Structures are given as C-alpha cells and as structure tokens.
C-alpha cells in the first residue's frame, strides 16, 4: 500500500517512536505531584514545552498542550472571544478555514455573536485586502487565518493579515496544523494552534499558544492543568514524542520539502495530460510542498477512492459522497472549482518516486472505467 494521505495524518516519525518508548518508562507519573517520579515527569513535560515553544517562536509559558488540533482551535477561538467580549462580538475568518474554526464560529453565532467569512480566489487564497477591511470594522474581537489550506495546499497571506490585525488592534489566531514542521511559522500571530499527528508525532496532542497580553478566558470549567487553559491529565509521553518529532521534521524540512515539492509538481503536470476533463486545483506556486488536489468530471469521489484503494493507494477526497460527509467540500465550493471526483494526494515523509510512477500509471484506467460504467465515454 502506498500511503498518500499525510494531510490527514503523518506516519509516526522514528524520532517520535524512540522518544515515546523512553518517556513511557520515565514520564508516566502525575507531573503535578512533588515526589521524585512526578518531578521527572514534570521535567520531561517542561522540556518538551520549551522545545515546541522554540520551534514555533513562542515563550514556554505561552504554550499549552491540548488533546488535539481541533480542541486547540476550539479553545483558541472561543477563549479569545470570551476574553475580548468588551471589544466586540465579531469574528472574522477565511471562507476555507478548517471545519474546527467554522464550528466554533457557528457556536459563537448561536450565542449571539457575528461571523464574517472572507472569500478566496479560485486558487483558494484569501483576499488580503478584503480580510483587512473586515478586520477593521468596529466590534471585531478576533480574526482567524490558517497558514495553508488543508485540502488544496494553498498558502494564505498570514503576514499581510497580521499587519492588518495589528493596525486594527485585533488578535489573529493562526491555525498552523498543515504547515508546522514543514515550513517556518509566519510572524505576527497572537494565538497559534497546531496538531502533532500532522508532523509525525502521536495522535492526541495539540498545541495552543497564546501570546502574553492577549485577553483569553477559558470557555470550559477551570482546571489547574496547562496554565489553566486545558483541563485534564497531560499525556506526558505523547507530548515528549510530539516535541521530538517536531524538532526532527524541522531539521529535515528544507531538503525533504524540496524533494516532495518536485513530486507534487510532477503530479500537477501529468494528471491533466493523462486524464481528460480534469481540473488541478490550488495555487501552483504558493503552496505546501506535499499536497496536490485534482477533480475529475463525471466521476464520484467515493468510487474513485475505492478503486484507488483496491489498486494499493491510500488517498482522500474533499468532494461529496465520501464516508464522512454527504455534501461537497466547503473549501472547493468557496473556490468555485469542480467538486466532483475530487482526489487529494498528500505525500508523507519518505514518499518515493516509484509510488508516484505507479499512481500515474493506474489513475487513467481507473477514471476511464468509472466513467464507462456511468455511460460516459
């Protein structure tokens, strides 16, 4: 099986595996206690916190660990809105943000708040001018912008958005889930969220960083753990492994990013040449190094994914008729591109040229057979 779904989850990095096994033995105790084994766990936790903080450009006391990237986003969005209620109730976000941002926004709306979604170009990039105008409107409490889109890989204008937010006195939450460990973290964020399993750490660890001076109040019942931001017992071994993986990925990022980007360029060029009626979506240049997405006319996404799975390829889709949703991807809809027969190929660390050769060899016949079964020739 060629695993080509790293944007969903990256296989565990060897550095994470080694750190996890060591920390299971050394870091199992309650880090909030005072005896020796607990102090050892606390030391491991704080060392991991300092390492993650350094890699994302934060102070250790600004970083808390959550149970997932989604929880980090929920706490980041709702906590900042709660902390800034006197400033207003408006939330501004890009139209192609991760569903965790949109769901937090929907909850905010149900509580009487206002949400403004800023549109994107056909490549999936947020209009920086429109974002700045939205942020400058009175009563804006928070703005949210991802570093890069999780479905099509397009990089977002985070630094331009950060400047607009700074001028308007509005904090900017940056969701770095897809880029952390692959690209440098952009400057200018007020709140940052990320997810360890996206960079080769274990699942079950997210990162929530809140800059000093940002008003933030937990939307959950108070708990003593994680700077009073995240309730519940910390998974110290997993956090240690997450930090180890982030360090390893950051060290490999430049060379591996160049290699994967060349493979993605090949897919972007060859798929429309080999398969008729295909639209490759996302920005061809301002993009993550490992994601490429295309849509095939007259093909259902679920049928395409099933046939690729039978041929030995694990890929995903943002289109309708997949196992988890009955409606088209909000990202593809916002971009105004073809939503049917959508395939997202996202290359993990170490993806080989052979995998891509084989993928390009089998794809045309799979699409042809599906179209033929529907009477399309």
SS (H, E, C) the chain: CEECECCCCCCCCHHHHHHHHHHHHHCCCCCCCCCHHHHHHHHHHHHHHHHHHHHHCCCHHHEEEECCHHHHHHHHHHHHHHHCCCCCCEEEEECCCCHHHHHHHHHHHHCCCEEEEECECCCCCECHHHHHHHHHCCCEEEEEEECECCCCCEECCHHHHHHHHHHHCCCEEEECCCCCCCCCCCCCCCEEEEEHHHCCCCCCCEEEEECCCCCCCCCCCCCCCHHHCCCCCCCHHHHHHHHHHHHHHHHHHHHHHHHHHHHHHHHHHHHHHHCCCEEEECCCCCECCCEEEEEECCCCHHHHHHHHHHCCEECECCCCCECCECCCCHHHHHHCCCCCCEEEEECCCCCCHHHHHHHHHHHHHHHHHHHHHCCCC
Q: Which residues have a catalytic role annotated?
A: 321
């Amino acid at each position: 099986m060629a695993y080509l779904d790293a944007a969903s989850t990256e296989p565990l990095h060897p550095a994470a595996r080694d750190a996890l096994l060591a920390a299971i033995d050394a870091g199992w105790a309650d880090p909030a206690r005072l005896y020796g084994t607990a102090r050892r766990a606390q030391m491991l936790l704080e060392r991991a916190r300092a390492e993650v903080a350094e890699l994302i450009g934060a102070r250790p006391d600004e970083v808390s660990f959550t149970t997932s990237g989604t929880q980090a986003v929920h706490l980041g969005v709702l906590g900042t809105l709660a902390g800034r209620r006197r400033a207003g109730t408006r939330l501004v976000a890009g139209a192609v943000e991760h569903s965790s941002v949109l769901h937090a926004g929907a909850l905010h709306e149900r509580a009487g708040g206002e949400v403004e979604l800023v549109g994107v170009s056909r490549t999936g990039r947020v209009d920086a001018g429109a974002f700045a105008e939205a942020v400058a409107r009175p009563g804006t409490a928070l703005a949210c912008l991802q570093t890069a889109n999780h479905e099509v890989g397009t990089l977002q204008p985070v630094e331009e958005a950060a400047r607009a937010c700074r001028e308007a006195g509005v904090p900017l939450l940056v969701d770095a889930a897809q880029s952390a460990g692959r690209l440098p973290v952009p400057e200018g964020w007020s709140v940052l969220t990320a997810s360890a399993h996206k960079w080769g750490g274990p699942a079950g660890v997210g990162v929530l960083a809140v800059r000093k001076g940002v008003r933030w109040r937990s939307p959950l019942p108070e708990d003593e753990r994680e700077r009073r931001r995240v309730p519940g017992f910390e998974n110290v071994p997993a956090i240690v492994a997450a930090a180890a993986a982030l360090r390893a990925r950051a060290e490999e990022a430049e060379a591996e990013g160049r290699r994967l980007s060349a493979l993605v360029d090949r897919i972007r060029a060859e798929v429309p040449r080999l398969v008729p009626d295909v639209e490759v979506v996302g920005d061809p240049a301002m993009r993550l190094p490992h994601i490429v997405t295309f849509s095939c006319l007259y093909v259902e996404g679920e049928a395409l994914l099933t046939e690729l799975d039978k041929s030995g390829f694990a890929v995903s889709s943002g289109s309708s008729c997949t196992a988890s949703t009955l409606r088209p991807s909000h990202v593809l809809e916002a971009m105004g591109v073809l939503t049917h027969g959508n395939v997202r190929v996202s290359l993990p660390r170490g993806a080989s040229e052979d995998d891509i050769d084989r993928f390009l060899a089998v794809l045309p016949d799979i699409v042809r057979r599906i179209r033929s079964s529907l009477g399309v020739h």
